[in-house]
Amino acid sequence: MTSASLQNSVITDISLAGEGHLKIDWVEAHMPVLNRIRKQFEAEQPFAGLKVTICLHLEAKTAYLAKVVQAGGAEVTITGSNPLSTQDDVCAALVEDGVTVFAKYNPDPSEFKALQIKALETKPDLIIDDGGDLVTLLESERPDLAATIRGGAEETTTGIIRLKALAKEGNLKFPMVAVNDAYCKYLFDNRYGTGQSAFDGIIRTTNLVIAGKTVVVVGYGWCGKGVAMRAKGLGANVIVTEVDAIKAVEAHMDGFHVMPMVEAAKQGDFFITVTGNKAVISGEHFDVMKDGAVLSNAGHFDVEVSKPAMLERSSSVRTVRRNIEEYTFKDGRKMYLIAEGRLVNLAAADGHPAEIMDTTFALQALGLKYVNDHYNELQATVVNVPYEIDEQVARFKLESLGIGIDTLSEEQIKYLDSWNA
């Protein structure tokens, strides 16, 4: 541990570090692509002398990404992107590894924001953001801290929507690489990662059976497709609700029931929102829900299930298990909300599997290197991950799996390039 990282950090308890190191060692052993990039970074030192501030769900996989960026020569500061997804033992281990950490499990909203601001006050050259938290703070509260920033990388769908809106107003101050929009991100992380880990959170929190139940998946984007696929695999009857006609047809062709939310609300035992939108389950839906319905959200913010509408209808709210709140409605029905409606896979479980975050964080590491190598040429806007980087991550992944693929012959290349061959 460096005394500077301990002195500067704000965490819950440094004595928890032992457990945190074990968690980080476990994910490191299951992230071969990132291990390879770490070796490359150790040799090339792409971030030598630079400060990097990371704002992500602060659990073991993220901690390992921080260590990979650090191995590339950066002085790394990290903060959490959700009050309930920060793991205190992982924070302590990172401090021992020389990373400055501003994060605690479940701080109150003002402390949560204060910790993020502290992470920006280190005046970073580069940032990694999730849901646009850091960029939003810079824009709305501390524009003075944006001056040193060359650029950064954004993790998720919701963040990219926000960054694009900011860029459209001409207010994004530096280039941000849209990691979420790379193939090796959304095809695997949003779909298979969210699909598996959302159920990990629901099952470990409720200890209830999924088979034979009706699961309502709200939103059939990349995350929704994964959640619906896994619900089907667990033996549920799956209903999908959508607002996009094309996605609704896709859900129908994939074998799911599709209907408006107000109809689905009457039938669901479990509800999982994955829209990136607000109040997708709200008053009129609660009014027709079955007694005992279990509600959860895997979208980025805790606004998808309308808590104000639940409270309005409730005579009492109590915690009945860790991460489950029981809302007793005035008409006697009980509704159960997991993890306060925050991302169920991160607030009530450990997030995506390590092998999934291996490719996502490989894109983060290489995306950050890309923005640093090219920040002088890039516009202050949302930038795609170059296809070569996306493909390189896929090739590293295949190699780590021991899977070979074919290559095009010269004759095939010519054939595919011609119109009359």
Ligand X SMILES: NC(=O)c1ccc[n+]([C@@H]2O[C@H](COP(=O)([O-])OP(=O)(O)OC[C@H]3O[C@@H](n4cnc5c(N)ncnc54)[C@H](O)[C@@H]3O)[C@@H](O)[C@H]2O)c1
Interacting residue ranges for ligand X, rule: CB under 6 A = 156-158, 186, 189-190, 194, 218-224, 241-244, 247, 274-277, 280, 298-300, 343, 345, 352
CA-CA distances (angstroms) from residue 136 to 234, 260, 265, 278, 417? 39, 33, 34, 18, 45
Nearer to ligand X, 343 or 393 (CB): 343
Distance CA 421, CA 414 (A): 8
For the sheet with 151-154, list strands across it.
100-102, 75-80, 51-56, 126-129, 151-154, 176-178, 382-384
Between 116 and 157, whose beta carbon lies closer to ligand X?
A: 157
Q: How far is the CB of 343 from ligand X (least distance, A)?
A: 5
- Cα distance between residue 369 and residue 365, in whole Å: 6
Q: Which amino acid is at 135?
A: V
Q: Whose structure tokens read 């993790």? A: 155
Q: Nearer to ligand X by C-beta: 9 or 241? A: 241
Q: How far is the CB of 391 from ligand X (least distance, A)?
A: 21
Nearer to ligand X, 224 or 268 (CB): 224
Distances (CA, A) of 380 to 158, 365, 383: 19, 20, 9
> Is 225 within 8 Å of 248 (Cβ atoms)?
no
Which residue's CB comes closest to ligand X? 221
Nearest to 269 by CA among 234, 300, 245: 234
The residue to which tokens 């780590």 are assigned: 400
CB 396 within 8 A of CB 362: yes
Neighbours of 10 (CB within 10 A): 18
Nearer CB in complex with ligand X: 77/158: 158
Q: How far is the CB of 159 from ligand X (least distance, A)?
A: 7
Minimum CB–partner distance for residue 25 and ligand X (Å): 23
Of the candidates 116, 145, 122, the residue with the CA atom closest to the CA atom of residue 55: 116
Nearer to ligand X, 125 or 189 (CB): 189
The nearest distance, CB 224 to ligand X, in angstroms, is: 6
Which lies closer to ligand X via its Cβ, residue 88 or residue 242? 242
- Shortest approach of ligand X to residue 123 CB, angstroms? 28
